[in-house]
C-alpha cells in the first residue's frame, strides 16, 4: 500500500487504532438511540432490529429467516432471540411468557405485496412493521415513525426499576427515514 503524504498515514493509523483489529468501519458505528455502554449485536444482513432495555445489557434480536431459495421463510419469517450480554453473552430462545406477551411476533403475509409480511411484536399492539428484502437480499423492517416511512433499527425501552415486574416508562423507536436517510425517532408511553 502506497501512502502519499504523512497526513494520510497519520489518518490511516488513527482510523486503525479507533476501529481495532478485525473491525470494519460500519460495525464500529453505534446507531442513534443505542445505550452507550451496552454491547451491540454483531452485524448481519438478516438483522431487522433489536431491543435494548434500561434494566441491563441483555438484548432481544429480530432477524429475518430465509429459505434455501434466499426468500423469506413463509412459515416463520422472523427469528427472535436473546443475546444474554448481562450473563454469559450467549444466545437464548425466548421462553413461553416472553414469546406470547412481550417479544414474540405474529406474522401475516402482506396481501398487497407477495413475498412480504406484516409483523406485530406481542407487547406493541397496534404497531406493525412490513418485513421485506431489498434488491440486494438484505432484510428490512419498514414502519411509520414520527409520521415518516422509515426502516426500524432499534427499540429502546425505559423502565422504572430493574425487576421482571418493572413498569415501562416509555418506548423509543429509532430508525432511518426511507426518503432522506436521516435518523428518525418516535416515543410512545403506556
Read off the pLDDT of residues 58-78 as tens digits, 9 standing for 90 and up: 999 999 999 999 999 999 999
Same domain, residue pair 145 and 129 = yes
Same domain, residue pair 44 and 126 = yes
Same domain, residue pair 22 and 49 = no
End-to-end C-alpha distance for the chain, whole angstroms: 56
Same domain, residue pair 9 and 23 = yes
Same domain, residue pair 24 and 37 = no
Q: Residue 115 belongs to what domain range?
A: 31-188
Same domain, residue pair 63 and 146 = yes
Pairing of strands 148-160, 47-53: parallel
Same domain, residue pair 8 and 39 = no
pLDDT tens for each residue of 103-115: 999 999 999 999 9
Total count of domains within the chain: 2
Same domain, residue pair 128 and 41 = yes
Cβ atoms 185, 32 nearer than 8 A: yes
pLDDT tens for each residue of 95-147: 999 999 999 999 999 999 999 999 999 998 789 999 999 999 999 999 999 99
Amino acid at each position: 500500500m502506497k501512502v502519499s503524504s504523512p497526513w494520510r498515514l497519520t489518518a490511516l493509523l488513527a482510523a486503525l487504532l479507533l476501529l481495532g483489529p478485525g473491525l470494519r468501519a460500519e460495525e464500529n458505528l453505534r446507531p442513534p438511540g443505542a445505550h452507550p455502554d451496552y454491547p451491540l449485536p454483531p452485524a448481519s444482513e438478516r438483522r431487522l432490529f433489536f431491543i435494548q432495555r434500561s434494566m441491563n445489557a441483555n438484548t432481544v434480536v429480530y432477524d429475518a429467516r430465509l429459505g434455501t431459495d434466499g426468500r423469506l421463510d413463509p412459515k416463520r419469517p422472523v427469528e427472535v432471540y436473546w443475546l444474554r450480554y448481562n450473563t454469559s453473552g450467549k444466545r437464548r430462545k425466548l421462553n413461553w411468557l416472553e414469546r406470547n406477551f412481550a417479544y414474540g411476533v405474529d406474522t401475516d403475509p402482506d396481501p398487497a405485496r407477495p413475498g412480504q409480511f406484516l409483523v406485530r411484536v406481542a407487547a406493541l399492539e397496534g404497531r406493525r412493521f412490513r418485513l421485506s428484502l431489498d434488491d440486494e437480499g438484505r432484510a428490512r423492517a419498514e414502519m411509520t415513525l414520527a409520521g415518516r416511512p422509515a426502516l426500524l433499527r432499534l427499540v429502546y425501552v425505559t423502565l422504572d426499576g430493574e425487576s421482571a415486574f418493572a413498569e415501562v416508562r416509555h418506548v423509543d423507536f429509532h430508525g432511518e427515514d426511507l426518503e432522506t436517510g436521516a435518523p428518525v425517532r418516535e416515543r410512545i408511553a403506556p
